Amino acid sequence: MPRVETTVFPRREREEDRRKEREHRKLLDEFFDHSTLLAISRLVNQGQFDALDFPISTGKEGGVFRASRGEEFRAVKVYRIGNTVFRRLPPYALEELRREASVRNFGGLVIAWTRREHTVLGRLTDAGVRCPRPYGHYRNVLVMEFVGTAEGAAPRLQDAAIDDPGALYEELVREIGTMTRTARLVHGDLSPYNTLAFDGKIVLIDVAQAVSVDHPEARRLLERDVTNFARFLGRAGHPVEPAEFLAAVGGDRLGDDPRAG
């Protein structure tokens, strides 16, 4: 007579459950050390969210999790405490962060990086750029608006269906133009991989490395941002020259005082 466990939970299902449990434990060990758990507890006590639901995306630098707050959802970004956050950063971004934070150890820099992303998101939100609204932060944990529905998070533009690439170009011009002219910031790492597609619109994410339009690297970074999207739009069926794109978002007047003239 077969064992009850084998009958109710066939071998394949039990192995899948064990695999999921191993992945869950690995995720906990990688992201939620003691100090991070304390940070999350503090944010819960502040009323920022009630509980973490599941991961949206994870990587070497950190992970984004969906969280519940009553009937609504929020996104919680957890940066790993360590030097992996900064391995992809160009020297100018790391130098600027060190000047702002006045710290040298990686733990302090991660905390400063989290605070910087919160600040930049607030600046973009105030300017009218479509990005996740920031709600709060503590140490290496950032709480922000969840972009998606109850069924799941919004896809990255890279993975979304592009029905009208011409309309997408016009929207990119509006959002990047508002970022440069009104918020007076350049994203610096903009591509279809850190842009979400939601409700027929785009949403800019991963903004911590943004620099002021007055930064010496701003023009080069903006040129790279629009060139990334010019290639993407060309593959989608809407060819556009990077120089035209750059002029359309105000790159030819980058750093000019918008009140002048």
The partner residues of 134 in beta bridges, in order of sequence, read: 144
| Gap between the Cα atoms of 188 and 92, Å rounded | 11
Q: Is 17 a catalytic residue?
A: no
Q: How far, in whole angstroms, is CA 245 from its chain's centroid?
A: 23
**Does an H or E element contain 36, and which?**
helix 34-45
Contact call for residues 226 and 245 (beta carbons, < 8 A): yes
CA nearest neighbour of 115 among 77, 87, 145, 88: 77
Of 33, 50, 189, 252, which is the active-site residue? 189
Phi, psi of 195 (to 5 degrees): -130, 130
Q: Whose structure tokens read 């503090």?
A: 42
Q: Is 206 a catalytic residue?
A: yes
Task: Give burial (CB, 10 Å; 0-12/13-18/19+) of 49.
Answer: buried
Q: Whose structure tokens read 């956050």?
A: 85
Of 17, 159, 163, 206, which is the active-site residue? 206
Positions marked catalytic: 189, 206
